Chain A
């Protein structure tokens, strides 16, 4: 065969592979308003930067080679906003992007290259699960489990998942190991499809109820964000990655600071009422502290009494954990505990300093919390916090009661503790503590109640904490931003090149 003939064969094979599952299936996707797997890669990566790995891979089963271009999972490398990344994009037009021997090898290679060379790895998920009949019978079992590290997560580089359609099998498993998960409304993520589940339990199952965005954004917390389209999902991935380093041995990227930051921070007194019985939305406080336009909230619909967000302060990424009195009065429930832990893991793994904004009446006590193992969540959080090696600053804005005082960075659990003059520190609300400690009720002995209330209230002020040097400063709330900028500079890990020890790198982020 001449070289021309060989080049012609290459061109033919390339065109066939790039044709994915065929024109008809691709047209159907387009008609449904879905991008195909290659269009998704194009939208994600900088123009002209994509290099594919495994374009000519197919099923290992001879009879289906012709109908398995790229074996249904398209993999490669490229740039996102100029930074290198690896990507796996599931091609539903090729045997439902089902998991096979060969495409499993492709994913493995992407994982290894991304980890070894320090690149984020992005999974564009939409898959039907294990490929049949490949995995049936004992012979099918024998092709599984050939990579003992398949489900190992050590967070050497960030992983991101987008759930963009029906996600069963690998798209689900990798989402549960990812640092950020965005879900398109209408997509589903579950162990098995509603059809299979319905047959297994012999009753109708609604796909949306089984694995829709509301379930995962509001109840399980397995998804961080819900969006309306593929394009929005891809924009969210890019935005998330803009806050993270490419790998764990690198500080987070620096960005320009937009104008107006210092003026914004003066609005803080209009947001937070001095009266602790009045609530407010702490996300407005976060917005006044952050560089303008830089707030990226994660899991906004889950565990809402604690808001977690990536922000920039003077151009540098910071992770904020803020109690939100607008929801459950800021009382910390089991979902909020799980959310806090997963956020600590994210920040510590990728060298992102942590700031606590504290205004909480304690953990939410009650039967529901105990049934869901609340004590273990509280202590897992403390264990995680004690293993964090990035800088930690705690700002006590108003209430900080009970054990949660420690979980939110009180005492030596932060590098620096700052109080506002409105800080209120105690084991419980002063009004409650008069009842609990002295057995005096307001309606029975108002004079004695008032006297004791004054006593316990005075004892909970920021000044007593400051006198004992358990808070390092008491500041005007309007100076919070400038104080954090200074303190994060003081606590920079200069000798470690701003890189932590990553003792949480193999903690799970889903619970």
Chain B
């Protein structure tokens, strides 16, 4: 088991958080939607795992490379 921080690839703001602590997620499934460049761009889980922490809230500004959730993979 490893702790993985899931990061946004784009700068923007948090549009929706799609998961909650304790949820199981599959690899490549969307966990957060970022509003950027007038699009809703998903942040995808790099591996399957269980959500251990939500690091952002709706409306938060987000930078490229910033962690949005933590996963136990």
A contacts, CB < 8 Å to B: 276-279, 325-329, 331, 361-362, 364, 366, 368, 429, 431-432
Contact = CB atoms under 8 A, between A and B. Distances in A.
B38 A276 contact: yes
B64 A279 contact: no
B38 A361 contact: yes
14 contacts: A276-B39, A278-B40, A279-B40, A279-B41, A326-B42, A326-B44, A327-B9, A328-B9, A329-B41, A331-B10, A362-B37, A364-B10, A368-B64, A429-B38
Contacts of B66: none
B40 A429 contact: no
A279 B42 contact: yes
B38 A277 contact: yes
Nearest to B41: A329
Interface residues of B, number: 12
Nearest to A304: B9
Contacts of A429: 37-38
A327 B10 CA distance: 9
Contacts of B38: 276-277, 361, 429, 431-432
Contact of A361 (B39, B40, B42, B44): B39
Most buried by A among B37, B38, B40, B42: B37
B11 interface: yes
A328 B37 CA distance: 9
A307 to B, nearest CB: 14
B58 interface: no
Contacts of B36: 329
A277 B39 contact: yes
Nearest to A367: B64
Given A277-B40, A362-B37, A429-B38, 19 more contacts: A276-B38, A276-B39, A277-B38, A278-B40, A279-B40, A279-B42, A325-B39, A326-B44, A327-B9, A328-B10, A328-B41, A329-B37, A329-B41, A331-B10, A331-B37, A361-B37, A361-B39, A366-B11, A366-B64
